Structure 1
């Protein structure tokens, strides 16, 4: 998690200083199971879609 936060902060500050950016870090919930790298459950997918719709014009990445 620390690496993800550091990478996001570096990416935010590496961009042009003249252009303001907002970085939103989101950690998903609603896992389908307890495996090491689970997929999202149906409820988790619904939340992810709702979040994406609430941030119009935003680009996203997945780690």
Structure 2
């Protein structure tokens, strides 16, 4: 597995907030899916409330 950096923004109570996180995944699509799942599980956000702008391999 490779490590990917995922950047984007999510909808918080006071507007959109930027994020950057590292994810271990097999490819960029899986890294993006892990990010959606992570925000959904931890913050209770739906996919429409998370915008992934960039997925970059490290």
TM range, smaller chain: 0.3 to 0.5
The one of the two structures with greater contact order (alpha-carbon pairs below 8 A, sep at least 6) is 2
Kindly indicate which of the two structures has a greater share of residues assigned to helix. Answer: 1
Kindly indicate which of the two structures has a greater share of residues assigned to strand. Answer: 2
TM-score (norm 1): 0.31
Q: Which has the larger radius of gyration?
A: 1
